[in-house]
Amino acid sequence: MLTVKTWIVQVLFLLLTSESIGELVNPCGYITPESPVVQLGSNFTAVCVLKEKCMKSYHVNASYIFWKTNHVTVPSEQYTVINSTASSVTFTNISLSNTQLTCNIRTFGQIDQNVYGIRIVSGLPPEKPKNLSCIVNEGEKMRCQWDPGRETFLDTNFTLKSEWATEKFDDCKTKRGTPTTCTLSYFPVYFVYLEVWVEAENALGNVTSDHINFDPVDKVKPNPPQNLSVSNSEELSTILKLTWLNSNILDFLILKYSIEYRTKDASAWSQIPPEDTASTRSSFTVQDLKPYTEYVFRIRCMKADGKGFWSDWSEEASGVTYEARPSKAPSFWYKIDKSHSHGTRSVQLIWKALPLAEANGRILDYEVTLTRWKSRLQNYTVNDTKLKVNLTSDRYIASLTARNTVGRSDTSVLTIPAYDFQATHPVTDLKAFPKDNVLWVEWTAPGKPVIKYIVEWCVLSDRAPCIPDWQQEDGAVRSTYLKGDLEESKCYLLTVTPVYADGPGSPASVKAYLKQAPPSRGPTVRTKKVGKNEAVLEWDQLPVDVQNGFIRNYTIFYRTIIGNETAVNVDSSHTEYTLSSLTSDTLYMVRMAAFTDEGGKDGPEFTFTTPKFAQGEIEAIVVPVCLAFLLITLLGVLFCFNKRDLIKKHIWPNVPDPSKSHIAQWSPHTPPRHNFNPKEQMYPDGNFTDVSVVEIEPNDKKPFPEDLKSLDLFKKEKISTEGHSSGIGGSSCMSSSRPSISSSDENESAQNTASTVQYSTVVHSGYRHQVPSVQVFSRSESTQPLLDSEERPEDLQLVDNVDGSDSVLPRQQYFKQNCNQLETSPDMSQFERSKQVSSVSEEDFVRLQQQQISDPIPQSCGSGQMKMFPEVSSADAFTGPVTEGQVENFEAVGIEAMVDEGMPKSYLPQTVRRGGYIPQ
């Protein structure tokens, strides 16, 4: 029961599926042609035919058809509705493409439905095959090939057909990969004409090539001859015999041959004349070969009538010709050792090994014979190519032959002249030049008949000696090239020696390069002399090893750092050059290039600086200037000397004697003493550097002699009473060399110009409630050391000893006190202070000293002392007539003090301007 059910279900399923598949597979219409192949460029028309059933179900007819190519709708202009069921589309000028063409209908509701589709394949019909040709490799089947013509873009079959008049042979179908060649399936029958042609066929048509009719034997390519062998002949050294095996084709064919040969080292083949090998053979003798030379041979063959093809070349075979006697005499030359002792000469005979082409075999040895005049022969057998013999001073004849297994060469004869022989007749116009990568040498023959020439050459170098190579040339030769391994850019020294019957002639030499090159390095330039506007450059000639050619010229490049480079060409013979028009005091960079014919090379750069002045220019300026200065100085000294009195008067004026003045006479305390120390005594201890000048007005001359007198007197008195004043020289407080003023003791200070001199006494009327006192105005330039006394007690002691009194100490104390005063009452007005100082009488002063003698000495005296100067000077300025010297001294001090205190002083211009006494 179950199985029956299953069976029914299966049948139903099959029915249903087959029904539905039938519906699906059954198209609504079709296109003709079904699978078109269209020729490129032609027109193509396709027709779509709708089925009645479909038309009914979709309610469409042929006018509903539209076409698509590769999913693109074709314009409706190309459609043609043939009838209610069929519509066609036409394409013109089909191009190369694989086109999918579909027929569609547009049903109700704008639904597009595909009806049918085809694929259009386009291409070209085959072209007529051309150039059909066949070849029969011996023992193989015939192969033909042809030119298929243009590309068809379609599958094209080529068939090679062949037939006799009586029989057709099997066709030869090309393989897919090789459509232009085909090998027939049967062995060709020679001597029977065969007709062959090619048929090409594709979907668009077929075409047949021209028929060719030939005898296959005329297309034969024979196998190359086998087992080629070469044998020589002892009888003839110039022949070699070739033998080989021909192929079997020889049984019914006549062959011809082509034989080629070359020497082992050569690359180019020579051919034996074809007419000598135009018939079937299996051996051949090659003639006119060089003795003792290895030759290589090869051979090929083809049909004698020239129809067919040459075989491949046979394998190469080589053979050596037999030896022959040397064909030429060796080149022969000699060298004489210059030293000549004990009547013998050492002569080295040298010769060249024969080249293989001339040796014609292996040279066994050389035979040398030396003949002296009227003497027997000396024979030597040498394996080498040189022989050293000791000869007397006489003339010798040397002869040389080379020997191989077959025989001996001709004899080379050389005359070795006597010791005193003078060589003459050199060759002339000797020239050497490179051509075709060899070095040629040519010369003009001397007037005498020459047997041969010897050409020698060697490399000129500083590093190695000249080791000559040589070659021999025939007497008729006028030019030759050097047959040696010459190197480029080396300097060769070539020597040509003619050899005459009686001995060698004079050699002639020339230098040459096979190929020049730029020098390896440039010349090193340096300065020989550098002037202000010129520099002499010098350099060394380049060594021959770096020249690499003939130095034709030098070029000097020079420039400043910023300037353009200037080039100067210098002839190669120079080693020095003067650069002119240089700028002075400028850095120049100079380098030099040497040029051969092939180019130049720069040397290192050299830097030099031109001097600011030319040589001697400084001297020319300095010497006259110095001389002039000297002269002026001399004149000045002379002038000073002549006018010394005047100068003296100017510098050390006579101080007017106050005692002679009327005022001096009024003062009973001050005796009219005056002392004027000469200059020598002014600086007894040398510490006094400032000079106090008392200028005396020229019109005040009257008291002058008296002054002097009184001064002398005064001096004497002072010396007798007090000795030297300690107020002069030494260092003041703080070791200052400034003059200090002490108005304390006029007696002491009268020792020098700077000593305190009382020159006026001013009597004031009383100021306010004070009793007017007589003020004694004195000046002092004492620079009495004050603080030094603490530091240097010995000085103090000395002074004490000299003075014999204690006046120094109190003076110091006074100053100390003064210092203290200044410090304790800094706000005291200047006027008051000056008054205070000035109002101190001599007695008061002493009193003060006594009062304060026990007071401690303040340590900060320095500043006080410094401050004191303006006070004193200002007091002087305000109060009394001041000598010129004092004023000047004070002026200097005053300026300093003024700067210190920043206070303007009115006295200074006053005194300076006046330049004389201020009248009281």
Residues that bind other proteins (CB under 8 A): 164-167, 186-187, 189-193, 213, 215, 217, 248, 251-252
Q: Based on CB atoms, which residue is closest to other proteins, 252 or 641? A: 252
Q: Based on CB atoms, which residue is closest to other proteins, 108 or 252? A: 252
DSSP conformational letter for 463: S
Q: Based on CB atoms, which residue is closest to other proteins, 210 or 315? A: 210
Q: How far is the CB of 215 from other proteins (least distance, A)?
A: 7
Q: How far is the CB of 172 from other proteins (least distance, A)?
A: 16
Q: Based on CB atoms, which residue is closest to other proteins, 165 or 268? A: 165
Q: Based on CB atoms, which residue is closest to other proteins, 164 or 639? A: 164
Q: How far is the CB of 281 from other proteins (least distance, A)?
A: 19
Which burial class, exposed, middle or buried, applies to 634 when counting CB atoms under 10 A from its CB (0-12, 13-18, 19+)? exposed
Residue 592 contacts residue 556 (beta carbons within 8 Å): yes
Residue 441 contacts residue 494 (beta carbons within 8 Å): yes
Q: Based on CB atoms, which residue is closest to other proteins, 49 or 217? A: 217
Coil/strand/helix, residue 296: strand
Q: How far is the CB of 217 from other proteins (least distance, A)?
A: 8
Q: What φ, ψ does residue 63 adopt, rounded to 5°?
A: -70, -15
Cis upstream peptide for 33 (omega within 30°): yes
Q: How far is the CB of 165 from other proteins (least distance, A)?
A: 5
The tokens for 62 are 């042929």
Q: Based on CB atoms, which residue is closest to other proteins, 165 or 899? A: 165
Q: Based on CB atoms, which residue is closest to other proteins, 189 or 430? A: 189
Coil/strand/helix, residue 490: coil
Cα–Cα distance measured from residue 743 to residue 483, given in angstroms and rounded to the nearest whole number: 122
Q: Based on CB atoms, which residue is closest to other proteins, 13 or 164? A: 164
Q: Based on CB atoms, which residue is closest to other proteins, 219 or 718? A: 219
Residue 516 contacts residue 539 (beta carbons within 8 Å): no
Q: Based on CB atoms, which residue is closest to other proteins, 13 or 193? A: 193
Q: Based on CB atoms, which residue is closest to other proteins, 164 or 666? A: 164
Q: How far is the CB of 166 from other proteins (least distance, A)?
A: 5
Q: How far is the CB of 285 from other proteins (least distance, A)?
A: 29
Cβ neighbors of 728 (< 8 A, separation 6 or more) are: 684, 685, 688, 751, 752, 754, 755, 781, 782, 783, 784
Count of CB atoms situated within 10 Å of the CB of 226? 12
Count of CB atoms situated within 10 Å of the CB of 223? 18
Residue 692 contacts residue 889 (beta carbons within 8 Å): yes
Q: How far is the CB of 194 from other proteins (least distance, A)?
A: 9
Tokens 């479909």 appear where? 54
Q: How far is the CB of 40 from other proteins (least distance, A)?
A: 40
Q: How far is the CB of 218 from other proteins (least distance, A)?
A: 11
Cα–Cα distance measured from residue 688 to residue 752, given in angstroms and rounded to the nearest whole number: 12
Cβ neighbors of 311 (< 8 A, separation 6 or more) are: 138, 221, 222, 223, 224, 225, 300, 301, 302
- Of 161, 235, 220, 239, give the one whose Cα is nearest residue 195: 161
Strand bridging mode 86-91 / 576-579: unpaired
DSSP per residue over 714-725, as a string?
A: HHHHHHHHT-S-
Residue 808 contacts residue 784 (beta carbons within 8 Å): yes
Query: For residue 660, how far is the Cα from the chain centroid?
Result: 97
Q: How far is the CB of 190 from other proteins (least distance, A)?
A: 5
Cα–Cα distance measured from residue 882 to residue 899, given in angstroms and rounded to the nearest whole number: 22
Residue 757 contacts residue 714 (beta carbons within 8 Å): no
Q: How far is the CB of 175 from other proteins (least distance, A)?
A: 22
Cα–Cα distance measured from residue 32 to residue 124, given in angstroms and rounded to the nearest whole number: 21
Cβ neighbors of 862 (< 8 A, separation 6 or more) are: 733, 734, 787
Q: How far is the CB of 274 from other proteins (least distance, A)?
A: 23
Residues 877-907: b if buried by 16+ CB within 10 A, e if exposed? bebbbbbbbbbbbbbebbeebeeeeeeebeb
Q: Based on CB atoms, which residue is closest to other proteins, 251 or 485? A: 251
Instruction: Name the β-bridge partners of 194.
Output: 214
